[in-house]
Amino acid sequence: MQMAPIHEKSPGEQVIAPFNLKMVPQIIFGAARLMELKNVIGRFGTKPLLVLGRSSFAATEHYYSLQQVLTELDIRAKTVHIDSEPSPAMIDAIVADPSCAEIDLVIAIGGGSTLDGGKALSAMLAEGGEVSRFLEGVGSAKPSGRKLPFIAIPTTSGTGSEATGNAVLSSVGSRGFKCSLRHDNFIPNLALVDPALTLTCPKELTVACSMDCFTQLVEGYLSTHGSAFTDALALNGIRAVRRSLGPVCADGNNLPARTDLAYAALLSGIVLGNSGLGTVHGFASAVGGLFTIPHGVVCGTLMAPANALTLKGLREAGGATPALAKYAELGKIFSERTSKPDAWYQDYFIAELERLAVELNLPKLSDFGVTTADIDRIVDKTGNKYNPVPLTREAMSEVLRRRIG
């Protein structure tokens, strides 16, 4: 049999560059699909640890429906609460509890902090010992990758933790940190994404989570470590945010818009796990370790100045770069104008970020105690590994200065 000739690309024709893809969890997505847990839970375990947030999910009808399902299956779950961003001390205390010795499955239902806490527990209940040994930038050991089966069920649309292999743990203070427990095996076995669970999410939290999701999609799209595959997912998610962030803020009970944002958050987790993130998330880790401030707030409030100074740096470097073309593409998504030069669309995207900061009333860093005196120590702890252009120390300081005071 004669083989067809290999098609050689002609000059100027686009070539898909090689890329790797980390595994994704099994995904069940759609409104009112929480009860499908009944059909799959038995594949993972029969003695679950149920990880919840402070109280919001437990006060809903969904919680009582879940309890009925567990009763029907004759499953008795042990319940713990992660009521703030998880710390190593929280994780260690739960792992050391003798009543957790028989646990064979972890189910986390809540926002990003709850999912991260559940993810860390699924790992450390198998690994044992103190989690800080395995935190990037804190410990010196690498996790083995052992874990208990883990089911992630988000009730907010933000971090995309339901699709990532890292759990962010924090210890806030003058020597604080916000670091990841990371291994590809820590990607959840199942991500059950039911947008109906996000309907009770209050507006302020919805805004913060949405800006986290939006930042992850944009940084993943612009990342120097991205690929054609992650670009496609990121753009799909960005369009969903463009479509539905305004409607959700106007009416939190808008289920189609909530579904859009839940989908965008899921995509953002897959994107960030494969492309990495940029300077905004570098700042978020540094600021979050030093101050008690919601992660999504840091991302949202720094989005406009970080991208403005990144775009400026790209232009100063000169030449046509993929990142400049991508900034133009982002502007086209948000603008209804056609046939404008790329530079116009690039500037339009930055203006749109600035408009969102005002329209959504995003807090400034100073609202959480950050002052100009803190800039140097924040910059010292901030990386911009996958940013499309390395920001100078002066530029990074300017990013912070624009959102202080």
In a domain, 19, yes or no: no
Query: CA of 290: how far to CAs of 22, 110, 159, 181, 330, in Å?
Result: 32, 24, 20, 19, 32
DSSP string across 259-289: HHHHHHHHHHHHHHHHH---HHHHHHHHHHH
The residue whose two tokens read 């790992």 is 123
Residue 12 lies in a domain: no
Q: Is 249 contained in some domain?
A: yes
Answer yes or no: is 218 within a domain.
Answer: yes
Q: Of 278, 273, 280, 238, which is closest to residue 389 (Cα–Cα)? A: 278
286 and 307 inside one domain: yes
The answer to whether residue 102 sits within a structural domain is yes
Structural domain harbouring 307: 203-401
Using CA of residue 125, residue 131, residue 135, residue 140, what is the dihedral sign? negative
**What is the C-alpha separation between 298 and 365, in angstroms, rounded?**
7
Are 76 and 148 in the same domain?
yes
Pick the last residue of a domain from 198, 227, 255: 198
pLDDT digits (tens, 9 = 90+) for 233-283: 999 999 999 999 999 999 999 999 999 999 999 999 999 999 999 999 999
173 and 139 within one domain: yes
Q: 31 with 77, same domain?
A: yes
Residues 207 and 151 in one domain: no
Q: What does the DSSP 8-state code read for residue 170?
A: E
Distance CA 43, CA 54 (A): 28
Burial (Cβ within 10 Å: 0-12, 13-18, ≥19) of residue 59: exposed
Report the CATH number that the domain containing residue 331 is assigned in CATH. Answer: 1.20.1090.10
Q: Decide if 20 is inside a domain.
A: no
- d(CA 299, CA 391) in angstroms, rounded, equals 17
Number of compact structural domains in the chain: 2
- How far apart are the C-alpha atoms of 309 and 354, rounded to whole Å? 13
Q: Is residue 250 located within the same domain as residue 397?
A: yes
- 214 and 189 part of one domain: no
Instruction: Quote the pLDDT of residue 9.
Output: 55
The pLDDT tens digits along the chain (405 residues) read: 454 454 455 555 678 989 888 989 999 999 999 999 999 999 999 999 999 998 788 889 999 999 999 999 999 999 999 988 999 999 999 999 999 999 999 999 999 999 999 999 999 999 999 999 999 989 999 999 999 999 999 999 999 999 999 999 998 887 788 899 999 999 999 999 999 999 999 999 999 999 999 999 999 999 999 999 999 999 999 999 999 999 999 999 999 999 999 999 999 999 999 999 999 999 999 999 999 999 999 999 999 999 999 999 999 998 889 999 999 999 999 999 999 999 999 999 999 999 999 999 999 999 999 999 999 999 999 988 899 999 999 999 999 999 997
Q: Does a structural domain hold residue 13?
A: no
Residues 98 and 209 in one domain: no
Q: Rounded to whole angstroms, how far apart are CA atoms 115 and 243?
A: 26
pTM over 0.85, yes/no: yes
- What gap in Å lies between CA 59 and CA 49, rounded to an integer? 19
Which among 198, 230, 251 is the end of a domain? 198
CATH number at residue 161: 3.40.50.1970
- Give CA–CA dist 9/294, Å, rounded: 48
Same domain, 278 and 336: yes
321: buried, middle or exposed (CB in 10 Å: 19+, 13-18, 0-12)? middle
132 SS3 class: helix
Q: Is 128 exposed, middle or buried (0-12, 13-18, 19+ CB in 10 A)?
A: exposed
What strands lie across the sheet with 190-193, from one edge to the other? 26-29, 190-193, 150-154, 105-110, 48-52, 78-81
Q: Which of 133, 168, 198 is the last residue of a domain?
A: 198
CA distance 374 to 352: 28
Which two three-digit tokens encode residue 135?
């935190």
Query: Contact at 8 Å (CB) between 114 and 158?
Result: no
Q: Does one domain contain both 329 and 227?
A: yes
153 plus 168 within the same structural domain: yes
Q: At what angle do helices 279-290 and 393-401 cross, to 10 degrees?
A: 60
Q: Answer yes or no: do 214 and 72 share one domain.
A: no
Does residue 10 fall inside a structural domain? Answer: no
